Structure 1
Amino acid sequence: MASKLLEDTGGTDLDGFISPDRIAMLFWKISEPCHRIAEENIEHANTLCKRYFMEVTRHIFAKPDSDRKLYGGKLSDGSDNAEKVASD
């Protein structure tokens, strides 16, 4: 396919020599369908990342404070979480 296209586009090149510009043109022409596929894959990955982020943040913020073990916060028994973390 590539050889045929290079032959068909002829040009002013010497016999047996193919200019870099023609090779570049051929590359971009052949790879056009790949751009669409790549865009679709990137869009799909972006959608999955957003969904994952939303699910994780919803799950994390649904927990009571005592389950999050936030540094500097109070535990369910009223003790200081920072002291507990420091002693562990």
Structure 2
Amino acid sequence: MAADVDHGSARSFIKGADVEFSCDIEITANAEQIFPWLEEPERMQRWVHGLEHSEYLSPEAPVDIGTRFRQRMREMGRTVTYEG
């Protein structure tokens, strides 16, 4: 399964600048096996380097297009908060 991931925009509250980023990754598993690792904050911490906290700001379940989130990351010796 090839995944073409577009993470969209995130706002860094350290400098208030918009950040655009994307990545491509090929994973040999089906969507049912992959999505829990993308949706569940506890699992995300196991593979997202520097992720200290992740929460959903939208009440929708399951996670879908337009779901809002906040993540706190440790990057280059600083704690940075992203919302998207």
* Fold agreement, TM-score > 0.5: no
**TM-score normalized by the length of structure 1:** 0.19
Find the structure with the greater CA-based Rg: 1
The structure in which a higher percent of residues are helix is: 1
**TM-score normalized by the length of structure 2:** 0.20
* Higher RCO (CA-CA < 8 Å; seq separation 6+): 2
